[in-house]
């Protein structure tokens, strides 16, 4: 199944623009001259083997890690020149959906969803909070779970609530780190569908990190591959994988493709 394009993507307007980004840990040179743009309205998939620096990249984009050199512009702001206050404000506009959705086990679904609102939007009334919680739960199709505990939910449902908890702040950019990792194939397809619905309904621009090729094909408007610290390949799924010239791309495909 290939992705149908519905929202128009604005290729004149990058919401993330990265130039010549470098990042090392000691003598491990992880990112070595990364250039990357995310355009408004697009789902961009970042593929790459485990340990290639995909999570490091989106942590730099969201200000959780600092870069060594290069330029990282997010929503028009230069990440290298922000005060702590400006960075906090920017981070509210960039939603990060972590690999382990990390819900609070002792809180109900409702309380988990209220948490980011109460922390970041203190001016909201009780009625407004209730409205936002219900809106986001209906967007992820889990209204019925509102009073359940995370332990009562399936892995896929917890993933949905994790995504809802990020979405509730209405971010302009969504960063998904391995959204389908550890899920069975049917649940993967449901989560891929949800990522596409979020794109349409919330008008987000997203980076989806994965090594799941089915996920890449189902959600990606454009796909880039991180190989040895740089993006060497980009295009639509077929552009990259139909007749790969780079043996590293063929090897990645052979190793990861299960359909
Ligand atoms: N905070 C850190 N300190 C030291 N090394 C790190 C840190 N974060 C990531 N690394 C290393 O950087 C490399 C890339 O990590 P990561 O971005 O998590 O890979 P992946 O592509 O699987 O997401 C790994 O070798 C990892 O051990
Ligand atoms: Mg990772």
pLDDT in tens, 111-147: 999 999 999 999 999 999 999 999 999 999 999 999 9
- Give the residue whose CA is nearest to atom 8 of ligand 1: 56
* 77 or 8, greater pLDDT: 77
Atom of ligand 1 nearest to the CA of 177: 23
What are the backbone angles phi and psi of residue 48, rounded to the nearest 5°? 170, 155
d(CA 193, CA 187): 10
pLDDT at 239 over 80: yes
- The rounded Å distance from CA 46 to ligand 2 centre is 11
Choice among 3-17, 186-200, 215-229 with the minimum mean pLDDT:
3-17
Who has greater pLDDT, 194 or 1? 194
Between 64-68, 84-88, 103-107, 229-233, the lowest mean confidence (pLDDT) is in: 229-233
Instruction: Specify the pLDDT at position 104.
Output: 94
Mean pLDDT within 12-26: 96
Q: In what order do the strands lie in the sheet with 173-177?
A: 94-97, 173-177, 205-210, 43-47, 222-227, 230-235
pLDDT value at residue 245: 83
Token duo for residue 249: 């791309």
C-alpha span between 151 and 104 (Å, rounded)? 10
What does the alpha-carbon distance between residue 162 and residue 180 come to, in Å, rounded to a whole number? 12
- Sorted by sequence, the CB contacts under 8 Å of residue 16 that are 6+ apart come out as 36, 37, 38, 61, 72, 73, 74, 75, 173, 205, 207
Which pLDDT score is estimated for 244?
Answer: 86
Ligand that lies nearest to the alpha carbon of residue 47, given by its number in the listed order: 1
Render pLDDT for 194-208 as a digit per residue (tens, 0 to 9). Answer: 999 999 999 999 999
Find out whether 204 and 235 touch, Cβ atoms under 8 Å: no
Burial class from Cβ neighbours inside 10 Å (0-12, 13-18, 19+) for residue 65 reads middle
Name the band, by pLDDT with cuts 50, 70 and 90, for residue 1.
low
Residue 124 Cα to ligand 2 middle (Å):
34
Which segment of 8-22, 61-75, 89-103 scores lowest on mean pLDDT? Answer: 89-103
Pocket test for ligand 1, best of 51, 52, 176, 210 (most atoms within 8 A of CB): 51
Taking CB atoms and a 6 Å cutoff, what residues make up the pocket around ligand 1?
A: 25, 28, 30, 48, 50-56
pLDDT value of residue 57: 97
70, two tokens: 């290069």
Q: Among 175-189, 211-225, 240-254, where is mean pLDDT lowest?
A: 240-254
Measured distance CA(201)–CA(132) in Å, rounded? 14
Q: Is the pLDDT of residue 257 over 60?
A: yes
Q: In what side-by-side order are the strands of the sheet with 10-25?
A: 28-40, 10-25, 69-74, 77-78
Measured in Å, residue 5 CA sits from the centre of ligand 1 at 33
pLDDT in tens, 51-91: 999 999 999 999 999 999 999 999 999 998 899 999 999 99
Atom of ligand 1 at shortest range from CA of 54: 21
pLDDT digits (tens, 9 = 90+) for 150-191: 999 999 999 999 999 999 999 999 999 999 998 999 999 999
Place of tokens 């349409």: 200
Whether the pTM exceeds 0.85: the reply is yes
Band of pLDDT at residue 258, cut at 50, 70 and 90? low
Ligand 1 mutation pick, 31, 55, 65, 230, max ligand atoms within 8 A of CB: 55
Mean pLDDT of 214-232: 94
Supply the pLDDT for residue 233. 80
Compute the average pLDDT of residues 11-22: 95
What is the distance between the alpha carbons of residues 245 and 247, in angstroms, rounded to a whole number? 6
């Amino acid at each position: 199944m290939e992705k149908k394009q519905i929202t128009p993507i604005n290729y004149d307007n990058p919401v993330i623009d990265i130039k010549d980004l470098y990042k090392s840990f000691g003598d491990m040179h992880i990112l070595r001259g990364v250039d990357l743009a995310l355009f408004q309205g697009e789902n961009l998939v970042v593929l790459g083997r485990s340990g290639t620096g995909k999570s490091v990249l989106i942590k730099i984009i969201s200000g959780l890690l600092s870069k060594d050199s290069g330029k990282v512009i997010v929503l028009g702001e230069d990440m290298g020149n922000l005060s702590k206050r400006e960075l906090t404000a920017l981070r509210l506009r960039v939603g990060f959906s972590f690999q382990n959705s990390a819900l609070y086990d002792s809180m109900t679904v409702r309380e988990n969803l209220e948490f980011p609102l109460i922390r970041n939007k203190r001016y909201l009334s009780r009625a407004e909070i209730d409205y936002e919680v219900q809106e986001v739960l209906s967007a992820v199709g889990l209204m019925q779970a509102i009073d359940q505990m995370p332990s009562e939910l399936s892995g896929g449902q917890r993933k949905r609530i994790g995504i809802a908890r990020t979405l509730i702040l209405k971010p302009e950019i969504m960063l998904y780190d391995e959204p389908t990792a550890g899920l069975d194939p049917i649940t993967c397809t449901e989560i891929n569908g949800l990522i596409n619905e979020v794109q349409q309904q919330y008008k987000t621009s997203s980076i989806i990190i994965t090594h799941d090729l089915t996920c890449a094909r189902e959600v990606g408007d454009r796909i880039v591959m991180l190989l040895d610290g740089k993006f060497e390949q980009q295009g639509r799924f077929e552009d990259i994988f139909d007749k790969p010239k780079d043996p590293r791309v063929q090897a990645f495909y052979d190793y990861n493709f299960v359909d």
